[in-house]
Chains A and B, each alone.
Chain A
Amino acid sequence: MIKPVSVAALPVAENFIIQKNRIENDAGPGCKRVCVVTGTHGDELEGQYVCAQLAKILNEDKQKLSGIVDIYPALNPLGIDSVTRGFPMFDLDMNRIFPGSQTGLLAEVVAHDVIHDIDGADMCIDIHSSNIFLREIPQVRVSEQTAAELLSYAVMLNVDLVWIHASATVLESTLAHSLNIRGVKTLVVEMGVGMRITENYCTQLVDGILNLLHELGMWSGQIGQVRKPLVSKDQRIDFLNSDAHGIFIPGASHGSHVNAGDCIGKVIDPLVGVVVEEVLAPNSGLLFTLREYPVVFGGSLLARIMEDSKNG
């Protein structure tokens, strides 16, 4: 059933509207509820295909569902509609204003409505797809402070990597943080690249979400083989930023294992036709992030490598 989550009047003969698709079966009192949300950043589209596939599978085999799955494909519908990462006509990143405010500006009221709607759910999966610059392998990101509680769920999602990252004050205003402190266990998925759909990643995550539902006792339908992700614990993560400006040409394939000294790519200057920077892997490990957008400034992130575990 399609339900409105947040509605507000736009200036000329249109309402702003966020909708969700509630798929439920056997949903008595005390039943479990899982939310799948995406589209906070209007240029991240991988989640669109995940939502569509998930809704299709659940609807086709609804009697095998026990509980409620709420699917929110677009928290920033105006952004998705206009190829805009942010919330149009609002300066701040939409994922920096949660939990929002009932008396704030439109984006803040919307953030408040979204939190209010999800509140009380057992789990939430917040799907992001990087940005237009970087390609990511399917991964779950959890902060150090929530890792103890979330790690056992993160590994159910059929991703390749679980990245436990340091906490930062600015991240306290994300959707995930705001939900986690309210007791809605929220997992942030990052995968693929902005403005594109990577079909095999989407299918992989759909399998993972079905597996999670199965583990929660909400899904008795088919589930595929679930992979065991690498978990960043004590391993070092190398950030490779460009020191030059130019055009980046990748030299290694995304998601592959690289050895120390391998060429990850080069930055070239098309005007004079020379290589201005050769980018080498400082350590052996998994090349989980790789630059997709060729133009770089000094500082542009080119790759991230998760170093091999010392104990194999």
Chain B
Amino acid sequence: MDKNVIYSIKSLYRESMNIIGYTFGSGEHSCCVVGALRGNEIQQMAICAQLIDTLKRLEENGCIANGKSIMIIPCANHYSMNIGKRFWPLDNTDINRMFPGYDQGETTQRIADGLFKSIKDYVYGVQMASFYREGEFLPHVKVMDTDCKNRETYESLTDFGLPYGLIRIPQPYDTATLNYNWQIWGCHAYSLFSNYTEHIGRQSTQTAVNAVLRFLIAKGIIKWALHRGMHTRVLNEELIINVQARNAGILKKHVYVGEEVSEGDLLCEIIHPLEGNTIGRIKSPTDGTVFFAYNKQLVTEYSDVFNIVPFSYT
């Protein structure tokens, strides 16, 4: 294992923030895995940390294929992480909205640029991503449906052995993310979504680590035996049904992530926050699997409380 500072930035009164890349194997830049770009992506960093710990042992046992190399960057934003902030300490900007970056630009553009320069030429890129909605997800892997579609990128969604592989049509705000720019640059780029962000789930960490290892095995980058994981259902993101709250108050959930529901099943109640009576009931619009569940206690009108993947669609 090689440990290199791939970008460094200083602040007036803090120690330098050194972004460290851990490299296994040598030769072709085969796969790069990026963890936390935001200060609250603790689960994402922990997945990378465990992956590094595993790859160390695999490397010692000669399991990295000849002529292939893997780089893992567990955290690119410890300045924010160490003060409990999601975005950049000074100006609250998001590194993951600054790609491909600009070396003469603002601080987070420079960080994005420094990072991107060292990772853009990898054949495969995996970002441990978090979503802007608060809640719990079923683990899944996502690709952006950019103009530079590549059949292999889509077909390899199943190599992670996660239950879902999603294809997303990018919105304008996606165009400055790492995943999007990786793909524009010709890398097969994936965003891997774990169950949580700020919370480290032991099982979800293992699931994500195994998913990456499985992908590395499928691509011939490591030689190792690991069970094949789950059958991956690949679908377009827009087929997922959003269930919105039409009242505001205290959320009382009746179903949880991963559960299967039938059309008409009670998903949750909304309770009057001051008087305790039920003011709203939300029923499942379809037969399907609960893919996402909001995990805050209070809901605002229009909150996305559940996402459901229908069993069948036309």
State the A residues within 8 Å of B (CB). Answer: 8-13, 16, 85-86, 89-92, 96-97, 103-106, 108-109, 131, 133, 169-173, 239, 241, 245-247, 269-271, 295, 297-301
Contact = CB atoms under 8 A, between A and B. Distances in A.
Contacts of A96: 172-173
Contact of B273 (A11, A90, A297): A11
Contacts of B9: 297-298
Contacts of A108: 302
A105 B12 contact: no
B247 interface: yes
Contacts of A169: 172, 175
A124 to B, nearest CB: 19
Contacts of B108: 299
Interface of B: 9-13, 86, 90-92, 94, 97, 104-110, 132-133, 171-173, 175-176, 242, 244, 247-250, 273-274, 298-304
Given A9-B247, A103-B242, A173-B171, A298 B302 contact: no
B300 A16 contact: yes
Contacts of B171: 173
A8 B301 contact: yes
Contacts of A103: 242, 244
Given A11-B298, A13-B273, A85-B92, A105 B303 contact: yes
**3 closest Cβ pairs, A-B complex:** A91-B132, A299-B107, A9-B248
B106 A300 contact: yes
A109 B249 CA distance: 18
B107 A170 contact: no
A295 B14 CA distance: 13
Contacts of B132: 90-92
A11 B9 CA distance: 41
Contacts of B248: 8-12
A282 to B, nearest CB: 12
A105 B133 contact: yes
Contacts of B249: 11-12
B40 to A, nearest CB: 11
Contacts of A92: 132, 173
A8 B302 contact: yes
A209 to B, nearest CB: 29
Contacts of A295: 12, 90
Contact of B274 (A12, A172, A271, A298): A12
B176 A133 contact: no
Given A8-B301, A173-B172, A297 B242 contact: no
A8 B245 CA distance: 11
Contacts of A172: 172
A89 B296 CA distance: 11
B13 A297 contact: no
Contacts of A91: 86, 94, 132
A298 B173 contact: no
Nearest to B38: A91
Contact of A245 (B12, B91, B106, B175): B12
